[in-house]
Amino acid sequence: MTSKTEIIAVGSELLLGQIVNSNAQFLSQQLAENGLNVYYHTVVGDNPARLEQAVKIAKERSNIIIFTGGLGPTKDDLTKETIANILGKKLVTDEEALRSIEDYFVKVKRSMSENNKKQAWILEDSHVLKNEHGMAPGMAIEADDRIYMLLPGPPSEMKPMFIKFGLPYFREKLGQNDKIISRVLRYFGIGESQLETDIQDLIDAQTNPTIAPLAGDGEVTLRLTARHQQEAEAVRLINEMEKTINSRVGGFFYGYDQTTLADEVLRHLRQSNMTISAAESLTGGLFSDQLTAVKGTSDVFKGTIVCYTNEVKQSILNVSKETLDQHGAVSEQCAKEMAEQIRKLTNSDIGISFTGIAGEDPVEGKKPGTVYIGLACIGQPTKTVLLHLAGNRNAIRRRTVKYGCHLLIKTLLENTAE
């Protein structure tokens, strides 16, 4: 069976914008990694007539239909009843699920209302997907030459259920015995359009592995997915594709999978046995926040001074009054002194500084988005980088920190190579 998969998320709260449809994103990622092609996302409210209409449309264009939400105990949880009506199936009680629900209420010393028994209902003849993190089980059923899978709405229940029980069900039904290996390559400093242009021929010719680009706040990722009966061969295919891609855009590559720029900065600092401190003006401590969000940072990160005003730059950080008077706070000279002074004050191996304009109005005759980063490494000349960034205040601050992290990674790699 060639899969044409549709995900139907059920819940009026999704349409009202009260919650984000993270389930669809998760399922799409998991399905893509396992060779199941998602063609459509649908969101429908808690209304049986509109859900029936959504299923009618889905049946015309998809042979795998996955539902999330609407399996709970309340009157507006109508997914099971609606699908049962469409397929001409009865709803029956799954005794194991009912016992689990009853045991839960005994454990928490609460009386169980009658409507909770509804959560144990399943479609007759369906394959039960056990809920190990909640009450309502999921289910899958083959009918009308299609596969229907019903999953709970809460992500904390749906995600582990799908990984443990949903994916194995699909693999068995679709006869997929291949090993599927995925790897995410992460890039910074190159736009999505430029990266795609540089590897467009590889994307056009992709078969195995597949290449899936994804852009995020100033970053680009490529997900490579290979499948083969032998896991070692799938890994070899990914290794070859990664090598080909990075022969073209490797200068922007910084890490794999779920790593971040801050993670990589800390990893390279530890490998180099170096410490760092920061002087932050426009970033207001955001760089330090990114580093200290990672556990065990104190072995390489000594501290920061948030020097938002010229007074603090001069009196605490020891930036010279002459530099501030002649060149201003938003200048190459100020960034250089900030980086050098924070390194000296904290006795660290590296000092990094951030100064610039994140707001909407010009400062010192310079446009918003003008940013200077200073980098002072022990035994080396101090570097400064001028950036012209676009976006709102918070976007400029975030991107400034990312550029600083990327500069650090490149510098540490260069030092290692020497």
Residue 29: predicted pLDDT:
84
Class of domain 2-172: alpha beta
The residues, any chain, with a CB within 8 Å of residue 402's CB and separated by 6 or more, are 188, 217, 218, 219, 261
Residue 409: predicted pLDDT:
95
Residue 229: predicted pLDDT:
81
Amino acid symbol at 276: I
Fold of 177-254: Alpha-Beta Plaits (3.30.70)
Residue 184: predicted pLDDT:
92
CATH for the 259-413 domain, from 3.40.50.300, 1.10.1200.10, 3.90.950.20, 3.40.190.10:
3.90.950.20
180 forms bridges with which residues in the sheet? Answer: 227
Tokens of 22: 């993270």
Crossing angle of the two packed helices 393-417 and 261-272, in degrees rounded to 10 = 30
DSSP 115: G
Mean pLDDT by 10 residues, the chain (418 residues): 87 92 91 84 94 96 95 87 95 92 87 88 95 93 95 94 94 77 91 91 90 82 88 94 96 93 96 97 96 93 96 96 96 98 97 93 88 96 95 93 96 82
Give domain limits for the chain.
2-172, 177-254, 259-413
Residue 1: predicted pLDDT:
56
Per DSSP, the three-state class of 204 is: helix
The residues, any chain, with a CB within 8 Å of residue 193's CB and separated by 6 or more, are none
Tell me the C-alpha to C-alpha distance, in Å, between residue 131 and each of 17, 28, 374.
Answer: 27, 21, 53
Same fold, 2-172 and 177-254: no
Tokens of 84: 């049962």
> What are the DSSP calls for 331-379, one per residue?
SHHHHHHHHHHHHHHHT-SEEEEEEE--SSS-BTTB-TTEEEEEEEETT
Q: Dihedral angle at the C-alpha atoms of 306, 311, 315, 319, nearest 10 degrees? A: 80
Stated pTM of the model: 0.71
